[in-house]
Structure 1
Amino acid sequence: MLSFFKGYKTFAIVFAIISVIIIILIYNTLNVYQPLPIYQPTMVSTDLVDSTIQYQKKYHKIADFALVNQNGKTITQKDYKNKIYVADFFFTTCQSICPIMTKNMANIQKATMKYDDVMLLSHTVTPDIDTVEQLKRYAVIKGVNDAKWNLVTGDKKEIYKLARKSYLAVKDDGNGGPYDMIHTENFMLIDKKRQIRGFYDGTNPDDIHRLLADIEILRQEPNS
């Protein structure tokens, strides 16, 4: 009888060790790094993609730009070199979705303050109204950190071209003419290679949580 219990004890120990190994293997399998997709125009709804690039399957990147921020500084791709950033389109006098979007951008700013390689970029879609002075007033009210978050204005046609042909963010509501107006709740996550890695509803708390999680994933990406 004693030998039976000794044998059972040995079996139990071996079984426990094997069980732990299996659990570890399953855990590691479920937690394998999964890279974020690299969005190309063909992967996005045609409503949001300019007809000239709808069939582009690779090599899509955010185009060069030169816009002016809330401090009167010209902002270009150089300011976002080797940065992950969240981009959106808004206007300061908007009373519908923009206040919610700006609040969520502020939450993203707060959540990523510890990361020097994460920034934010908000483009006004009414640059004739949103002057540098107006953007500065808005930035102060909304708690914008100038080192982290640029609110930019500039040539309306350039901004609209960026929205349609670079960020794939908005439906075709003109090309930036005097009476054209674009409006979107989309947030775009851009990697250090100027590629789109995610789209999110900037008014949806669940999407904001997903965006923050995706930033963490992107920061772990090799060569990021």
Structure 2
Amino acid sequence: MCFNKPFSIFTGLILCFTLSCNNTKSGKLPIYNPSDFNAELVDVSLRNTSKNHTVSDFELINQNGEIVTQDHYKGKVYVADFFFTSCPTICPIMTDNMAILQDEFLENHEIMFLSLSVTPDIDSVFVLRKYATEKGVIDSKWNVTTGNKKHIYELARKSYFAVVEQGDGSFQDFIHTPNFVLIDKKKRIRGIYDGTDKDEIFRIINDIKTLTTDIEKK
């Protein structure tokens, strides 16, 4: 299942975000709250929230059948994305680019990665294990996950602000986004990037390094 839907709207949204991300004089990355995003990316219930946004607690199942929660990412900087294993278009590119990030920060135990399937009923643990092996996923660095669809879709819309379309996570609901979301050690959003764009991958590498430097810790 993969819709041939144009991604111009995503490109425009990401471009706006990129410009604002680069507009910082302190050397630190901005901390993003719902009100800082284009309203189309934010659930209606959160659009006026201007402070203290953090990613909600989650419970997912990874490629080894293990339960993954926020505790696995405590004290970590991580990149999250939303994908599905049978996608023939943007997802393979995104996964390859996430693998580049994994390799870049392989020896840095402060950095991790999280991929959430948007077709969890199809992407079983068995399917995810095969996919993770084929893509070179290192279990200690990167959780490729499935779980409850409503839960995953609520995370996408109300925690990570990764998609434009509104929905309720029902059987017919489907999200498809190229976005990578950068989360800091305090569960705050620090950037959104086009996971299909190599230039954006170089930018996220630099931003991850910023999050682990002394200037960010002050």
TM-score (norm 1): 0.84
Distance 1:46 1:123 in 2: 23
| Structure 1 letter corresponding to 2:212 | R
Query: Identity, % of aligned pairs?
Result: 52
Contact 1:190–1:197 (8 Å) recurs in 2: yes
Contact 1:173–1:182 (8 Å) recurs in 2: no
Distance 1:174 1:50 in 2: 9
Q: CA deviation at 1:114?
A: 1.4
- Corresponding residue for 1:115? 108
Distance 2:165 2:57 in 1: 21
Number of aligned residue pairs: 193
Contact 1:157–1:175 (8 Å) recurs in 2: yes
1:57-96 equivalent positions in 2, closer than 5 A: 57-96=50-89
Structure 2, gaps ≥5 residues long: 1-24
- Corresponding residue for 2:161? 168
Higher Rg: 1
Q: CA deviation at 1:222?
A: 4.4
Q: Say what the alpha-carbon RMSD is for the aligned residues.
A: 1.2
- Corresponding residue for 1:153? 146
Contact 1:50–1:172 (8 Å) recurs in 2: no
The answer to whether structure 1 residue 48 and structure 2 residue 61 are counterparts is no
Residues 1:71 and 1:81: Cα distance change in structure 2 (over 3 Å): same
Q: Which structure 1 residue ranges, 4+ long, deviate > 3 Å from structure 2?
A: 221-224
Distance 1:80 1:46 in 2: 28
Distance 1:141 1:173 in 2: 33
The answer to whether structure 1 residue 103 and structure 2 residue 84 are counterparts is no
1:132-143 equivalent positions in 2, closer than 5 A: 132-143=125-136
**Matched residue of 1:187: which SS?**
strand
Q: CA deviation at 1:223?
A: 3.8
Contact 1:173–1:181 (8 Å) recurs in 2: no
1:120-151 deviations in whole A, cap 9, x for unaligned?
A: 00000000000011000000000000000000
| Structure 2 letter corresponding to 1:98 | C
Structure 1, gaps ≥5 residues long: 1-31
| Structure 1 letter corresponding to 2:188 | Q
- Corresponding residue for 1:20? none
Distance 1:96 1:173 in 2: 22
Distance 2:89 2:167 in 1: 21
Distance 1:175 1:141 in 2: 32
Contact 2:43–2:166 (8 Å) recurs in 1: no
Question: Residue 183 of structure 2: which of 182, 190, 196 is its match?
Answer: 190
